[in-house]
């Protein structure tokens, strides 16, 4: 059986920086309130009139990753595209990416696992490579949140958290079973689906009903999050997923060289860091700059940590995420 190894990384975020001070002019909030609860100082939002969309940002990140892998678009055999904010209800972002990159008629699959999207996407790509079906797979996480947020005081509890951006990784076949993805671990608990959700529009509440109701006060169009409940579940599931991955590979927390957690909330990351007794050089957070970019957050953070030289050959790198669904998981990598 083959193994899969990351050979290229790239990310892209919009140029438009939105600070906490900027948000205080839109809603009843302030920098201290936001930083205390989330750790976020600023985020990137696509500016009105920009060419950027979820698919466009994914394409920009992908071009960087493919070039860094020493490949061309024609070397890519398959696309896995993770997002909760596709340009269209359907078709998905994967086929748009194939067209934007002028690629061969390779297959493309979309992953809808929200904050855990990139973890799930990596697992899917890993299995395709391990079985020998594909040699090089492009794995993308991209999100355009800002166009769907309630930017009034009513929505501040959610809106201050999210940012826009994209990241991409090229997974390639290797016969060295000591390097690359060692294992991946995926879980879900659908009974908590409504604790973090966008309920409408949906097939159960579709366009004719929306037009007929014409209710400007309907909050179901915007993300809802039971913040305290989500936080409590996240810190438990993050830890479980990391422990599961370590135990599967007969490893200990002391073996971790770099933990890249989903950038949901700096307080969650700090809790996990303390639990596993990791020092500041063993965990990478960038939520302060970019906010929560959902399916893009892990890959943006992974790419940035690698660019900064924080990830070296033979390091044990752990990726972990928790989010809406609830879904959660981890990927264990020997770099």
- Reported for 306-313, long-range contacts at CB under 8 A and 24+ positions apart, including other chains, are 306/9, 307/9, 310/258, 310/281, 310/284, 311/257, 311/258, 311/335, 312/257
Q: Is 113 known to be catalytic?
A: no
**16 given a catalytic annotation:** no
Angle at the Cα of 11 from the Cα atoms of 193 and 281, rounded to 5 degrees: 85
Which of 115, 81, 157 is CA-nearest to residue 324? 115
Catalytic position from the list 113, 262, 265, 286:
262
Do the beta carbons of residue 292 and residue 205 sit within 8 Å?
no
Residue 317 C-beta-side C-alpha neighbours within 13 Å: 24
Structure tokens given for 119: 């973890």
292 has catalytic annotation: yes
Spot the catalytic one: 3, 113, 115, 285.
Answer: 115
| 20, 113, 136, 292: the active-site residue | 292
Neighbour-count burial for 78-95, b at 16+ CB within 10 Å, e otherwise: bbbbbbbbbbeeeebbbb
Can the peptide bond before residue 90 be classed as cis, meaning omega within 30 degrees of 0? Answer: no
Q: Provide the annotated active-site residues.
A: 115, 262, 292
């Amino acid at each position: 059986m083959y193994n899969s190894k990351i050979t290229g990384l790239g990310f892209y975020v919009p140029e438009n920086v939105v600070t906490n001070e900027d948000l205080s002019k839109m809603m009843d909030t302030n920098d201290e309130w936001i930083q205390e609860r989330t750790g976020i100082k600023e985020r990137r939002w696509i500016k009105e009139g920009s060419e950027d969309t979820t698919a466009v940002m994914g394409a920009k990140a992908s071009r960087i990753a493919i070039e860094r892998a020493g490949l061309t678009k024609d070397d890519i055999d398959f696309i896995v595209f993770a997002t909760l904010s596709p340009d269209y209800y359907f078709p998905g972002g994967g086929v748009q990416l194939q067209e934007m990159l002028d690629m061969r008629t390779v297959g493309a699959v979309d992953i809808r696992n929200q904050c855990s999207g990139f973890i799930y996407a990596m697992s899917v790509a890993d299995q395709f490579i391990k079985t020998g079906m594909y040699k090089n797979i492009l794995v993308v996480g991209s999100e355009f949140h800002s166009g769907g947020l309630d930017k009034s005081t009513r929505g501040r509890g959610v809106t201050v958290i999210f940012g826009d951006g994209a990241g991409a990784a090229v997974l390639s076949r290797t016969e060295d079973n000591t390097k690359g993805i060692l294992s991946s671990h995926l879980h879900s608990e659908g009974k908590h689906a409504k604790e973090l959700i966008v309920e409408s529009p949906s097939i159960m509440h579709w366009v004719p009903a929306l037009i007929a109701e014409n209710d400007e006060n309907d909050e179901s169009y915007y993300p809802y999050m039971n913040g305290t409940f989500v936080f409590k579940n996240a810190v438990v599931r993050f830890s479980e997923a990391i422990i599961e991955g370590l135990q599967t590979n007969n490893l200990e927390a002391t073996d971790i060289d770099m933990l890249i957690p989903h950038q949901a909330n700096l307080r969650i990351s700090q809790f996990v860091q303390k639990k596993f007794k990791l020092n500041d050089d063993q965990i990478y957070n960038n939520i302060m700059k970019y906010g929560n970019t959902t399916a893009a957050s892990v890959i943006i953070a992974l790419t940035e940590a690698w660019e900064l030289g924080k990830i070296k050959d033979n390091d044990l790198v752990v990726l972990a995420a928790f989010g809406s669904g609830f879904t959660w998981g981890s990927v264990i990598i020997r770099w």
